[in-house]
Structure 1
C-alpha cells in the first residue's frame, strides 16, 4: 500500500507541481520559501492520503492543503509585505497569454503588487478564479465555503483591487487578467 501511495503522490506531484507552485508564489510573493511549501503540500498529501475521501478531485484537495499552509505562513509573518518586484524575472508557467503578458508587463506587475496588498481571503479567491481559472464550485470546495460566499468574496475582492488601483470602473483590472 505504501508503495502505491508513494507512486500516486509522485504522479500528483508531476501533474500539479506548476499549479501549486504558482499559487503559493502568488500568495506569498516569496520565491525563497516557495519550494518548501510545495514540498510540504505533497508531504501532507502523502501523510493524509487515508483521509482523502474522493469527494473532491485531487487538484482541489491539493489546493486546499496548500491554502492551509499559506494561510498559516501569512499569519506567522503578520501580514508583512513580502512581494518582490523580481517576481516577473523567472518564467512561471501560467494560463496567462504570453503576448498579453509581455505587452502589459507593467500593468501585470502593478496588478500583482496590488493583489499582495489585499487581505488573504481576497487574494486566494482572485488567484484561484483569475489566475488558476478554477470554477466557483472548485473554489468553494478548496476553501470549504458555499458558492455564494465565493461569488460575494470575489466581488468584494475585485472592488478592493479596483480601489487600490484607483479605478472606479475596474475594466482595466479584468482586462489585465
Structure 2
C-alpha cells in the first residue's frame, strides 16, 4: 500500500535535490544513479497516474511508460526544474496519450453487462480499498483543473509554487482551485455521511 500523505517540506526539498542529482548522474551513464532515481520517484509517479487516469489497473503500465519516456529523453534533462516536476510532466503526457488511445479503441466484452463484469473483477478486501474507491469517486466529481491541483498538492505533495509552475498558472489560482476542491469534497462527504446515518 502506498501512502498518500505528503512528506514535510524540508524532507521533500532534500528528496527533490537528491532525485535531481541522481537524474543528472544517470544522464551521464551511471546505472546505480538511474536505479536510485527510479526508486526515489516511483511512488510519486504511481500515485499521480493512478488518480489522473482514474484507472488503478493501468497505473503500473503508465508508470513504466513514464520512466521509459524519461530515460529516452534523459539526455535533454539539464536540472533547471526538479527531476520530480520534470518526471510528472512526462507522466501527465503518458496519461493523456493513454486516454486518447483508449477513446478510439473499441471495447469488447463477452458479458452482457460489461460494466458489472469489470466491477466484479476489481480486487476487494484490501486494507483501505473501500476508502480508496470512495476517494476516487469523490475526486471524479471535481473539474479537471481542481482535481489536478488537489492531487499535485495534497496527494503528490508539491508545494503550491511547484504546482503553479507545473500547471503554468499563478500560485493564487492553484490555491483557489485547491480550496474549492476541499470545500466540494467536504460537502460531498457530509452529504454521504448524512445519507448513511439513517441506514445505521
Alpha-carbon separation, structure 2, partners of 1:69 and 1:160: 28
Selected match of 2:148 from 98, 102, 124: 124
Equivalent residue runs for 1:26-41 within 5 Å: 26-41=51-66
Match of residue 175 from structure 1: none
Match of residue 73 from structure 1: 98
Change in Cα spacing, 1:73 to 1:119, as seen in structure 2 (3 Å) is farther
Match of residue 51 from structure 1: 76
Alpha-carbon separation, structure 2, partners of 1:144 and 1:53: 19
Is 2:159 aligned against 1:135?
yes
User: Normalising to structure 1: TM-score of the pair?
Assistant: 0.67
Greater Rg over alpha carbons, structure: 2
Alpha-carbon separation, structure 1, partners of 2:176 and 2:124: 30
Equivalent residue runs for 1:18-33 within 5 Å: 18-33=43-58
Alpha-carbon separation, structure 2, partners of 1:147 and 1:159: 18
The answer to whether the Cα contact below 8 Å between 1:129 and 1:135 also exists between their aligned partners in 2 is yes
Q: Which moved more, 1:10-19 or 1:105-114?
A: 105-114
User: Normalising to structure 2: TM-score of the pair?
Assistant: 0.60
The answer to whether the Cα contact below 8 Å between 1:29 and 1:87 also exists between their aligned partners in 2 is no
Alpha-carbon separation, structure 1, partners of 2:123 and 2:153: 20
- CA-CA distance at 1:167 after TM superposition: 4.6
Match of residue 86 from structure 2: 61
- CA-CA distance at 1:156 after TM superposition: 3.1
Gaps of 5+ in 2: 1-25, 104-114, 192-200
Gaps of 5+ in 1: 92-101, 169-177
Aligned pairs, number: 152
Alpha-carbon separation, structure 2, partners of 1:119 and 1:75: 19
The answer to whether the Cα contact below 8 Å between 2:54 and 2:136 also exists between their aligned partners in 1 is no
1:37-85 per-residue CA deviation (whole Å, 9 max, x = no partner) reads 111111111122233231211111111211222234345556xx9xx69
